[in-house]
Structure 1
Amino acid sequence: MTLRVKNGIMHLNLLNIEYRRNFDMNPLLPLDQFVPDGEARQHADGRLYLYGSLDVPGDDSYCSCRYRVFSSDSLTHWTDHGVSFSTSDGAAGEFEGNRLYAPDCVCKDGVYYLYFCLSNGREAVATSGSPAGPFSDPVAVIGADGDGIDPSVFIDDDGQAYYYWGQFSLCGARLKENMRELDMSTVNRALITEQEHGFHEGASVRKHNGIYYLLYTDISRGGASCISYAMSRSPLGPFTKGGVVIDNTGCDPKNWNDHGCIAEFNGSWYVFYHRATNNSCFSRRACAEPITFTADGRIPEVEMTTQGTQGPLSPLPVLEAGRACLLSGAAYIESRLEQGVYQEYLSHIQDGNWAAYKYFDFGQAAVSGFTMAAANGRFDSVYSARVELRLDSPDGTLIGTLDIPPTGGWTDWRDFSCPVQPVQGRHALYLVFHGDLGRLCSVKEFHFIA
């Protein structure tokens, strides 16, 4: 591989050379799909199906009038099954015209039940013979309709189904055999509460080794950024708070909430959650991380990563800068169509900002250089941006420094390279930015050179 040198800076034309890229990582789905509030279920065909809301980038409200279902047999390659249900095509009857908030989907006796809530507070269920839908014939959930948001359904080992719903104070009850009506004699309107458990919304129930785990959006750390869990020996409680499973603080400057579940897939357990992007709380993406259980049934808190459900990444393939799992300062992940392809990049970077990528395995790669596709919208050569490559923290070991001189536009990409110090083992990479005059640069992608 030949690097060319201009003005003392090594350049490599990434855009004209094909590299094997990392794809099996966070966020999980294609970059033009924004699916928050994920409920993951492994159904009878062995595939894991991901149900969630559907955000529209650039919108100023949560969710949309459509649901879209994705599935995977590996958690690395996802199939887009298209729109599974809509309230904007005339087929939703009395529920037409309202935005669809967080859903859940379970199977009983060969029928798949899609439970959903709407922006006007209604709750309903539609059915299908397929886990991917399309779902049709929606009817109100009698006993919960008009009473809250974020339905969750759990079917116990004996076949009894339970329904959970609400905000601030969680309600729960048995579902009748028709799966459309609550047994009102079993209703508990305070399974967990904001005051005692930090419960905000987004309940989800699973069972593992005889313990019922109630996952929920937790505001105990100041915002609705945590997915926490409570534990019980009964599906209707009482529940005792266990702790935080994951906290998405730091994924975007305007991040507000988190919502997801834990799910078993082929014997392993994962937490599914979402991250905000685009400097907006209305453009959220599905992500996942592996979790474990301690001997006493607790779930240790896990961190957000770039690698997601798979092992550490190779440092050699090209990595999109939008895969950052943590951001600081004004920097955020911005989206745009570029030559007909949906792209994301790191944007609006200022002095002292950083972006983190966790984790890389340098054990099999004797890296000697680093290359970045970046842009600097300034025209005066005085205003170069400087990028420090640090390991494991913003103040960690410095392994290289890269300069990004003006390119004439904030998406006028050029390729810049620098040598790096030898690295061994598993490390997080922090890109730390420095410079003057506010906005410094944008970053599209990067990779290490062996």
Structure 2
Amino acid sequence: MKPTKTKQVYNPFLPLNEYIPDGEPHVFGDRIYLFGSHDKEGGDEYCELGDYVGYSAPVTDLSDWRYEGVIYTAKQDPGATEKSKLYAPDVVQGNDGRYYLYYNLSGDVGFHSPISVAVCDTPAGAYEYYGYVRNPDGSPFKRHILHDPALINDNGTIRLYYGYSLSSKLAKASGHESAQAQQHEAQPAAFSQESMVSALMMVFHKSREEIESEPDGIMGANVVTLADDMLTVTSGPVRIIPGEFTAQGTSFEGHAFYEASSIRKIGELYYFIYSSQQSHELCYAVSKYPDQGFTYGGTIISNGDVGYSGRKEEDRLNMTANDHGSIENINGQWYVFHHRHTHSSTFSRQACAEPIEILPDGSIPQVEMTSCGLNGGPLIAKGEYSAVIACNVANGAMPHITNRRIDSDIPFITHGEGQRYITNVKENTRIGFKYFAFEGPTVLKVVTRGNGNGSFIVSTDEKDIGVIPLSSSETWCDSSAVIDVRGTAGLYFTYSGSGVFEFISFAFDQLK
């Protein structure tokens, strides 16, 4: 499907067949680079492709993303097995001017492999294996839970942030009754010390001695400093944010650390961005110091818009699941990068971004998911658009899930025959695109297929603006109606009728 001829950028901002979650955006020189994991389209596990691919764009044109190719593969790590995948990475420029990529291996070594490092002379790769984060005696550094490394070169001091924590919310979203889920499901107060230790030994492959020797526990966000060799730990670790089980009575209660560490320094303040115990939201904490004094700031974004304008979880605007990303200043504008979920699973995640504002008091108001994130304004209500740039796909009963694929009766983005579209569109499915700049009367055409008898009720944020009857057909076919809208507004398609449809594209055509 061809997009509008006017050069624009929409969410997801990479090619529609590309799945780069866990994004870490960094400006190096005059380009913005996105580093992240690599999911398979319609995949069955996280990071299934087992490599990292690079994308970058000029800081002056965020519609011009360039594929940099494969920048690193799991098999380059000497500790990898046939099952190893590459979890969420980060990249930092060392004091020697080279670029260092930090990552964890997943697969059968997940949660107990060391943090590994690769290096390259340029941010776009290709990277070569360099070593693993180690203690001064050369042994692998294994304190706490080694997960989701994040780096900052703080005026010559290299700091590494990392960590993980169980979350009681996630068991209810996991859809199974394994021992791990049962441990997740219990509330903190219900855990005995022995049951907690047993759970941690099982889930994180830790010995009893490793667990009981940590005065702050092994769950939470931590920081260490590294030597100029980018490998050797010179101080720490220090706990900076608690996990759910130790957050009671702190500013983090209800939004404690889960995973997805990221770090930025803005002026004299340090911003720690992370995925909270709610999983679907990226939160931030602020401190004057890099290793202490962090307090909860708020939610930056939720991949179901939960919390935005007071929205409750039961009213989420998408199926929600884990989120991971960070913020970056690009050509004077701050953005948050994160990911959405497709294919009715947690294993095919796509990169999205939204502009954010950092207020004079240092706070970051929560922003909503849109279809026009990096565009610098609303999309133009002219030409053709893919339906999968929808920022909201919901039916009033969307679930929160984790670590699985579901077969619930919900609408979702999928693919087939080399195309991407929204499937399982039934009664009360509402598909939203925010925002478009409308210029008056236009023919709005939709392309659908399916077996049913019904219509799309077309609306903006304020009112219904038209009805498009849908034709029952096994092949893609057009239906249209004239709408009349002026100004910037969201565009929504709500299905009313029987049967089930699939929705691949829509277009704005001139009146004849």
TM-score, normalised to structure 1, is: 0.86
Q: What is the distance in 2 between the residues matched to 1:28 and 1:370? A: 24
Q: What is the distance in 2 between the residues matched to 1:210 and 1:281? A: 37
Residues 443 and 23 (structure 1), Cα distance of their counterparts in 2 relative to 1, 3 Å cut: farther
Paired position in structure 1 for 2:385:
319
Alignment of 1:137 with 2:129, yes or no, is yes
Structure 1 position 448, deviation (Å): 2.4
Q: Match for 1:418 among 462, 481, 488?
A: 481
CA contact (8 A) 1:321 1:446 kept: yes
1:102-149 per-position Cα deviation (integer Å, ceiling 9, x unaligned): 000011222110000111222110101111111112311115447421
Q: What is the distance in 1 between the residues matched to 2:382 and 2:284? A: 38
Give the counterpart letter for 2:92 in structure 1. Answer: V
Q: Give ranges in structure 1 of 5+ residues lacking alignment.
A: 1-14
Paired position in structure 2 for 1:445:
505
Q: Secondary structure at the match of 1:170?
A: strand
Paired position in structure 2 for 1:212:
270
Q: What is the distance in 2 between the residues matched to 1:294 and 1:253? A: 28
Q: What is the distance in 2 between the residues matched to 1:332 and 1:257? A: 16
Aligned pairs, number = 407
Q: Secondary structure at the match of 2:320?
A: coil
CA contact (8 A) 2:304 2:319 kept: no
Structure 1 position 384, deviation (Å): 1.8
Q: What is the distance in 2 between the residues matched to 1:358 and 1:133? A: 35
1:68-125 per-position Cα deviation (integer Å, ceiling 9, x unaligned): 110000221111111111113xx32223431110000011222110000111222110
Where do residues 39-118 of structure 1 align in structure 2 (5 Å cutoff)?
39-44=24-29, 46-64=30-48, 65-73=50-58, 74-88=61-75, 91-97=76-82, 98-108=84-94, 109-118=96-105
Task: Name whichever structure is richer in helix by fraction.
Answer: 2
Paired position in structure 2 for 1:399:
465
CA contact (8 A) 1:254 1:281 kept: no
Paired position in structure 2 for 1:200:
258
Q: What is the distance in 1 between the residues matched to 2:378 and 2:271? A: 29
Q: What is the distance in 1 between the residues matched to 2:41 and 2:341? A: 11
Give the counterpart letter for 1:419 in structure 2. Answer: V
Q: Match for 1:367 among 441, 445, 468?
A: 441
TM-score, normalised to structure 2, is: 0.76
Q: What is the distance in 2 between the residues matched to 1:204 and 1:192? A: 15
Q: Percent identity?
A: 33
CA contact (8 A) 2:7 2:63 kept: no
Aligned-residue CA RMSD (Å): 1.9
Residues 151 and 391 (structure 1), Cα distance of their counterparts in 2 relative to 1, 3 Å cut: same
Give the counterpart letter for 1:131 in structure 2. Answer: P
Alignment of 1:248 with 2:303, yes or no, is yes
Give the counterpart letter for 2:478 in structure 1. Answer: D
CA contact (8 A) 1:50 1:71 kept: yes
Paired position in structure 1 for 2:327:
262
CA contact (8 A) 2:320 2:341 kept: yes
Give the counterpart letter for 1:300 in structure 2. Answer: P
Alignment of 1:20 with 2:5, yes or no, is yes
Q: Match for 2:159 among 151, 162, 166?
A: 162
CA contact (8 A) 1:252 1:276 kept: no
1:7-29 per-position Cα deviation (integer Å, ceiling 9, x unaligned): xxxxxxxx8x9962665111011
1:275-308 per-position Cα deviation (integer Å, ceiling 9, x unaligned): 0011111100001111111111001111100001
Q: Give ranges in structure 2 of 5+ residues lacking alignment.
A: 136-140, 166-219, 306-315, 396-409
Give the counterpart letter for 1:178 in structure 2. Answer: D
User: After alignment, is 251-260 or 422-431 more displaced?
Assistant: 251-260
Paired position in structure 2 for 1:177:
228
Structure 1 position 254, deviation (Å): 4.7
Structure 1 position 274, deviation (Å): 0.3
